[in-house]
Amino acid sequence: MKAVRRLAIAALVVACTHLVFGAIVRISGSGMGCGNNWPKCYGYWFPPFSRPDLIIEVCHRYLASILTLTVVSLAFVAYRHRREPGVAGRGGPLRSAVGAVGVVFFAAALGGLTVKEGNAPWATVAHWLVAMTLLAMVAVTAIRAGTFGGASAAVQHGSRRTFRSARGAAILAIFAVAFGGLTAKLPGAAVGCTTIPMCGPNPNVERAFIYVQMTHRTIALFLVLHLIAMVILVHRRREREAPIVIRAADIALGLVFLQLAVASSMILLHLPPVLRSLHEATGVGIWLSCFSLAYLAHRAAKNQPVPAEIPATAPAVPATPGAPCGVPAPAPSAHTMAVIVARGADL
């Protein structure tokens, strides 16, 4: 299991790096640095590095290749250790690692389609969401392997209520990430609002693109309020919540506050596109933290302590009214038993 754990951590690091670099590709407009050539770049695996956009796009593809090899290696190692306890079967890292292999090849194919379609917004956002799904699958594998809080969640007790709240945070996070990717891709949408927290519309940007950024902001606001309420809840119920879930909720809320600071700096300081990629990098961290929070809460909620059984005692024998103490009552008649059973069925 130790080898699976190490490879899961490596795959998680590479997946995060690849996603952040993908944000740089999108924000810098380097998605067509190799034209519509895929998987080679103008017929070369190692083209002449003569333009910045070409360098960024090619490095993104190299990272995708490294990620694919890492995920495949993770599944292979998990399969080799399938006989170890906890590796195979339901809840083991083998299944999620194999699922990650399927997702990484689907993401690669979708990346090729994105290039062939001229970096169309729908294809770019779809590619972004599949990459986020891959990150979630690798995170599941890491948690099941016992790292990233998985070992603690396997033995700590949580509540279903907290799991439902964490699941809601993960749903809001993926919608915020999706609209964040769309905002970065559509022309002018990233600068559609010139003020914060209210949206001062940019007169040089189409109204539809401004609405995309406003939708992104609205979902982000819901996520902030939801996480604040959740953190307050779990801290008040500290005795009944898993400590690892409380810590994960604190981390998710901290990243959201960091994102608010980054977003405010982007708008007020007019950061250049490359530095604006920090906003999407933090968004990747928010999605990873919210999804991991939900999965850890799910695992902890399954560990509800079983209440101790009440030892069976002999039923008390009612005494006959008026009879001496300790003299049992006569057995009820068949008619009386029928009435008792009928009344019990109605309760």
The two structure tokens encoding residue 71: 């995920």
pLDDT at 319: 47
**Residue 153 in this model has a pLDDT that exceeds 60:** yes
Q: Which of 108-122, 158-172, 188-202 has the highest mean pLDDT?
A: 158-172
The CB density around residue 340, as the number of other CB atoms within 10 Å, is 11
**Residue 235 in this model has a pLDDT that exceeds 80:** yes
Q: Kindly state the average pLDDT of the residues 91-107.
A: 93
Q: Kindly state the average pLDDT of the residues 259-269.
A: 83
Distance CA(195)–CA(257), nearest Å, equals 18
Q: What is the pLDDT of residues 173-183, one digit of tens each?
A: 999 988 887 88
pLDDT at 339: 41
pLDDT at 162: 93
Q: Kindly state the average pLDDT of the residues 324-331.
A: 47
Length, in residues, of the chain = 347
Measured in degrees and rounded to the nearest 5, phi and psi for residue 141 equal: -60, -40
Distance of CA 29 to the CA centre of its chain: 27
Write the CB contacts of 94 (distance below 8 Å, at least 6 apart in sequence): 75, 78, 79, 82, 87, 88
Exposed, middle or buried: residue 324 (CB in 10 Å: 0-12, 13-18, 19+)? exposed
Q: What is the pLDDT of residues 272-326, one digit of tens each?
A: 766 677 888 888 899 999 999 999 999 999 876 544 444 444 444 444 444 444 4
**For residue 144, what pLDDT band results from cuts at 50, 70 and 90?**
very high
Q: Kindly state the average pLDDT of the residues 313-341.
A: 45
Q: Kindly state the average pLDDT of the residues 29-49.
A: 77
Measured in degrees and rounded to the nearest 5, phi and psi for residue 326 equal: 90, -5
The two structure tokens encoding residue 215: 């939708």
Distance CA(335)–CA(313), nearest Å, equals 27
The two structure tokens encoding residue 164: 């439902």
pLDDT at 22: 78
Residue-wise over 300-319: b if at least 16 C-beta within 10 A, else e? bbeeeeeeeeeeeeeeeeee
Contact 139, 295 (CB under 8 A): yes
Distance CA(24)–CA(263), nearest Å, equals 16
**For residue 248, what pLDDT band results from cuts at 50, 70 and 90?**
very high
Exposed, middle or buried: residue 161 (CB in 10 Å: 0-12, 13-18, 19+)? middle
**Residue 171 in this model has a pLDDT that exceeds 90:** yes
